[in-house]
C-alpha cells in the first residue's frame, strides 16, 4: 500500500463537494413528491466520490462525522432539516459510519462497504419530519408547492415508504462504493 499525504484544504474541498452533492440532490424534489422523499437515494450515488476519496486518504476516525457535520452546519445556517431529530439522524449516521469503519479497519475497502451506507442513510434526517411530523410536512407542502404536491407527500408518509427509502439508500450506497473502486483507481490502491 502506498503512502498518501494530503492537506487540510483538500479535506475541506472534498467535504464541501460532498455537501454540494447532498444539497443538489434535494432539488430533484421540485419535480415530484417521491423525488423529495427519496432524495437520499440520489445523494448516495452523487456524494460517494468525495467520500471515497477522503476515506482512502484519511484512514482514521472522523471522515463520516466530518461529512455529516458539514451537512448539519449547512442545515443550521439555512434553516433546513428543522428539529433536533433531523440533526441527530444526520450526525448519528456520520458517527455510526466512523464507528463501523473503525471496527472493520480504517484502511480496508470492505470497511467502506459497511460505513458509507450508514452515512448515506443519515441524510434521511433532512426529510425525517415527513414521517415523524406528518401534519407539519403536509401543511408546508400545501403552502410551498400546492395542494396536488401535498397530496403526493401524504401518500408517501407511510412506514413502508420510510423502509423503502432506507433500503434503497443503503443499496445505492454500496453500489456507489463498488463503482468508485472501479473508477478511482488511485484512491482504490490506497485501500487494502
pLDDT, position 107: 85
Query: Three-class SS of residue 12?
Result: helix
Query: Three-class SS of residue 2?
Result: coil
Nearest to 112 by CA among 72, 71, 68, 59: 59
Low-confidence ranges of the chain (pLDDT < 50): 1-3
Nearest to 169 by CA among 62, 89, 99: 89
Rounded to the nearest 10 degrees, the angle between the axes of helix 159-183 and helix 48-57 is 60
pLDDT, position 6: 67
pLDDT, position 29: 85
Please report, in angstroms and rounded to a whole number, the separation of the first and last CA atoms in the chain. 7
pLDDT, position 101: 94
pLDDT, position 1: 38
pLDDT, position 5: 61
CA distance 166 to 28: 18
CA 86 distance to own-chain centroid: 12
Q: Tell me the pTM.
A: 0.90
Amino acid at each position: 500500500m502506498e503512502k498518501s499525504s494530503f492537506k487540510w484544504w483538500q479535506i475541506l474541498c472534498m467535504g464541501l463537494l460532498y455537501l454540494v452533492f447532498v444539497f443538489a440532490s434535494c432539488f430533484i424534489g421540485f419535480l415530484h413528491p417521491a423525488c423529495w422523499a427519496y432524495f437520499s437515494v440520489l445523494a448516495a450515488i452523487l456524494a460517494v466520490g468525495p467520500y471515497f476519496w477522503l476515506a482512502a486518504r484519511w484512514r482514521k476516525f472522523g471522515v463520516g462525522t466530518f461529512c455529516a457535520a458539514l451537512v448539519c452546519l449547512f442545515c443550521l445556517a439555512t434553516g433546513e432539516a428543522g428539529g433536533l431529530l433531523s440533526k441527530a439522524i444526520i450526525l448519528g449516521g456520520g458517527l455510526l459510519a466512523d464507528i463501523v469503519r473503525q471496527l472493520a479497519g480504517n484502511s480496508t475497502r470492505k470497511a467502506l462497504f459497511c460505513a458509507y451506507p450508514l452515512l448515506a442513510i443519515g441524510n434521511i434526517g433532512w426529510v425525517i419530519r415527513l414521517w415523524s411530523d406528518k401534519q407539519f410536512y403536509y401543511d408546508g407542502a400545501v403552502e410551498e408547492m400546492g395542494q396536488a404536491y401535498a397530496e403526493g407527500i401524504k401518500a408517501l408518509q407511510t412506514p413502508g415508504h420510510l423502509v423503502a427509502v432506507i433500503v434503497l439508500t443503503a443499496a445505492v450506497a454500496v453500489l456507489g462504493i463498488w463503482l468508485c473502486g472501479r473508477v478511482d483507481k488511485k484512491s482504490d490502491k490506497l485501500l487494502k
